[in-house]
Amino acid sequence: MNIIHKFYQSKSLGGKLMRIQLKVAISLACLMMFIGCSASPVSQQTTKITLLNSKSEIKTQLEEVAKQYNQEHPGVSLEIITAPEGTSAYQKLMSMYGSGSAATMSMLDPGDTQQFLDKAVDLSKEKWVADTIENGLDTVKKSDAVLGFPFAVEGYGLIYNKKVLDKATGGSFDASSVKSRSSLNSLMARIQKTGVAPVMLSPMDWSLGSHLLALSYSVQPGGFSEFVKGMQNSSIDMSQNSVMSGWVQTLDLLKDNSINKHSPLDSTYDDGAKALGEGKIGLWFMGNWAWAGIKSNDTANEEYGFLPLPLSDNTDDPNNAKITVGVTKYIFIDSKTTTPQQQEEAKKFLNWLVYEKSGQEFLVNKANVIPAFKNIDLEPTDPLSKSIKSYMSSGKTLPFMATLPPDHGAITGASIQSYISGKIDKAELLRQIRIYWKAQQ
C-alpha cells in the first residue's frame, strides 16, 4: 500500500509541476507577444508627406495615384491637398507657411515657384536632373542648385473638334490651312453655317491673362523684356504696337463668335470641355490639360487637335503657325517645416514618377501631361498631347511665358473680362495692361 501511495503521490506532484511549467510557458509567450505588439509601431512608423496640387483638373487622378503609391510603399502616407475653390495654390501655400506647416511638396506655376526658391530643397544631385529636357530647369536654377522638379510640359491654342470642322469644310480638316486672322474668320463663318457655334471664349482670369494675353508677349519683335521696359518707361505707345493691335483684333474675333457672347462671364471651364466634346462648338481656346473633361463628353471619336491662334493677317507670319509650349508646373520640396525623413520620401516619390513604369503611366496617360524627361519613351494616347508633340517635332512652338508675376493673371484677366463684357473699350484695356506693368518697376 505504501508503495502504491507513494506512486500516486509522485504522479500528482509531477502533474502539478507540468501544469506550473505550462503556465510559465504561456505567460512567457504572452509577454513576448505584448513586447512585439508594443514594438511594432516603432519598427513600422509611417512617414506622412503631402503634395499641394495646383492642377485642379487632375485632382481625382492625383488622389488615385496617391492611394496606389501608398499601397506600393507601406512606410509612407502620401496625401494630396488641393487649393479650395476661389483660392490659388500660391495663396494656400502662403497661408500654410504663415501657420508654420507647409506642404512637403508644392506644385506651382513657374512664376509662383520662384517666390519660394529660398525655402526649397536642393535637388541637383537627383538622377532625373541629367534626364531633363533642354531648358527644362532654367526657371528653378539658382547658382548650382536645382530647386524644382518639372512636372508637366503643356501647350495651348485653339482646340478643335475635327468632326465639326470636317462637316464645316466639306472634307478632312487641315489645321495648316489657317494661316491668318482672315482665314480663321472664314473658318468660323463656315462652322456657323452648319448650325454650330464657332468657338467658346472661357472667361477665367488665368486663361485670359496668363494664356491669351501672354501670347502677345511671346511674339513681340524686340522680345518680351524690351516690351515690358517700353511699357514701364512709356516709350511704347500701346495703340501703335502692331502686335497688341493685332491681339485685340483676334480677341474681338473670339469674343464676337463665342457661344457665350451674350453672357461672356457666365460660362465655366467645365462648360467649355462639355461644349467641345458634344460638338456644340468647333473651337475652344484652352490647353491639353483639358483632355479629361473633353473625353468624358466626347462624341467625335477622340479626333481633336490644336490650331494656332493667329495674331496677324499676314499669311507669311511664321508665328501664325505656332502654338505655345513649355514647362507649366514645377514641384519643390519644402526645407523649412519638414523633417529630413519627409524630404527623403518626397525625393523618392519624384524618382518614382520618372523611373517607375507606374509613375510614368500616371504622368502620360492619367495626368495627360507631356513629361519633361528624355528617358520616358511612353507615347501619349490622348490626341491633344499627340498634337502638341507634333508641333514640337516640327519646331513650331512659341515660348510659354512662365515667369509672369503671381498676380498677372488675376489683374490683367480682370481687365480683359471688363473688355469682353463691354465695360471698357480697347484704349482703356491697353492702358490698364500698361499700368499693370508700370507698377512692377
User: pTM surpassing 0.85?
Assistant: no
Structure confidence at residue 2 (pLDDT): 47
Report the amino acid identity of residue 218.
S
Please state, in angstroms and rounded to a whole number, the distance separating the CA atoms of residues 76 and 218. Answer: 42
What are the backbone angles phi and psi of residue 345, rounded to the nearest 5°? -65, -35
Phi, psi of 323 (to 5 degrees): -120, 160
pLDDT value for 20: 47
Residue 21 has what pLDDT? 52
Q: What is the pLDDT of residue 322?
A: 96
Q: What does the pLDDT profile of the chain (441 residues) look like in tens digits?
A: 444 444 444 444 445 445 545 454 555 454 455 444 444 444 468 999 999 999 988 999 999 999 999 999 999 999 999 987 777 899 999 999 999 999 999 999 998 999 999 999 999 999 999 999 988 999 999 999 999 999 999 999 999 999 999 999 999 999 999 999 999 999 999 999 999 999 999 999 999 999 999 999 999 998 999 999 999 998 888 989 999 999 999 999 999 999 999 999 999 999 999 999 999 999 999 999 999 999 999 999 999 999 999 999 999 999 999 999 999 999 999 999 999 999 999 999 999 999 999 999 999 999 988 999 999 999 898 999 999 999 998 989 999 888 888 889 999 999 999 999 999 999 999 999 999 999 998
Residue 108 host element (H or E): strand 105-108
Q: Which of 23, 22, 19, 1 is nearest to 9 (CA)?
A: 1
Can you give the length of the chain in residues?
441
CA distances from 441 to 209, 217, 230, 435, 436 (A): 19, 17, 12, 11, 10
Q: How far is CA 379 from the centre of its chain?
A: 18
All domains of the chain, ordered by start, with CATH? 47-154+327-388 (3.40.190.10), 155-325+398-438 (3.40.190.10)
Q: What is the pLDDT of residue 5?
A: 47
- Residue 44: the pLDDT is 61
- Separation of alpha carbons 373 and 352, rounded Å: 13
